[in-house]
Amino acid sequence: MKITIITVSYNSASHIEDVIKSVADQDYQEIEHIVIDGNSNDGTQQILEKYSNKLAHWESKPDKGIYDAMNKGIKKATGEVIGILNSDDFYFDNQVISKVAVTFSEKDIDAVFGDLIFVDSKNLNRTVRTYSSNNWYPDKFAKGYMPAHPTFFVKRKFYEKHGLFETDYEIAADYEMLIRLLYVHKLNYVYLPIKMVKMRTGGVSSNGIKSNIILNSEIIKACRKHGIKTNALKIYPKYFKKVFELFNHK
């Protein structure tokens, strides 16, 4: 089974090398790593050229944002299964993809997801918070919860069947996508009880009050689009759980 990993980047010179090495170091051999860069001007292109032998495809062209770039990557993918790894994230260890592959091969499933940990951007060995997808189920979309998207792997045919990311979302197109796949079309999924991805703090969807306001308004928009009844009073209490996660991240 070939697994495609898609990474989108823009001015990611400080982190992109870590992402490439994280994928290249996996103990699973059938990996297709595609990097879609948005015409960076900080040296990212030179790093991609340096590591081109480890990439199935890379390009650096202007795009219409992160989700447009993800869609470009999906269109290039040839793997049976697709995962998306952000340019400032990396895999927890070198066995993540092999565990994903085993799960798909042994079970009749459409998708897999697991846990993600946030790490200090200045000390990658220091865990700040754990984002566990355990005990998640589709009705939790109404409360602002989704599986950790960087841990989400799905068979490529479902992107082809149910569509790509909607680019009119600034932050939450991944939320809308997971609603579409897991709630509307009811794909069969398995939760892997393992830490799969390390994410540096300070990403687009977790960077300040303004981003959180945009994120939650787009979550409400996505839910209502697909017939999920929700509102701010249902969604904002999730931040109390995030505070708890700061103290429960072992």
- What region, left, alpha or beta, does residue 165 occupy, with left being phi > 0 and alpha being psi -120 to 50 degrees? beta
Give pLDDT, residue 202. 62
User: Percent of the chain having pLDDT more than 90?
Assistant: 86
Q: Is the pLDDT of residue 200 over 80?
A: yes
Q: Is the pLDDT of residue 250 over 70?
A: no
Give pLDDT, residue 236. 78
Q: Got the DSSP string for 167-223?
A: TT-SS-HHHHHHIIIIIIS---EEEEEEEEEEEESS-GGGSSHHHHHHHHHHHHHHH
pTM tops 0.85, yes or no: yes
Give pLDDT, residue 248. 53
Instruction: Identify whether the C-beta of residue 199 lies closer than 8 Å to the C-beta of residue 86.
Output: yes
Q: Is the pLDDT of residue 8 over 90?
A: yes
CA distance 43 to 12: 8
Token representation of residue 152: 């989400």
Instruction: Identify whether the C-beta of residue 59 lies closer than 8 Å to the C-beta of residue 37.
Output: yes
Instruction: Identify whether the C-beta of residue 145 lies closer than 8 Å to the C-beta of residue 230.
Output: no
Give pLDDT, residue 238. 75
Give pLDDT, residue 244. 47
Q: How confident is the model over 84-141, as pLDDT tens digits?
A: 999 999 999 999 999 999 999 998 999 999 999 999 988 999 999 999 999 999 999 9
Which one of 3.40.30.10, 3.90.550.10, 3.40.309.10, 3.40.605.10 gives the CATH number of domain 3-137+146-201?
3.90.550.10
Which one, of 117, 33, 128, 131, lies nearest residue 82 by Cα?
33
Q: Is the pLDDT of residue 245 over 80?
A: no
Which one, of 220, 228, 238, 1, lies nearest residue 101 by Cα?
1
pLDDT band at residue 205 using 50, 70 and 90 as cut-offs? very low
The most distant pair of C-alpha atoms in the chain lies apart, rounded to whole Å, by: 50
What b-and-e string marks burial along 236-247, b requiring 16 or more CB atoms within 10 Å of the CB?
eeeeeeeeebee
Q: How confident is the model over 176-198, as pLDDT tens digits?
A: 999 999 999 999 999 999 999 99
Lowest model confidence (mean pLDDT) among 78-92, 134-148, 203-217: 203-217
pLDDT band at residue 242 using 50, 70 and 90 as cut-offs? low
Virtual torsion, Cα 157, 161, 163, 164, nearest 10 deg: 10
50 vs 243, higher pLDDT: 50
Q: How confident is the model over 46-62, as pLDDT tens digits?
A: 999 999 999 999 999 99
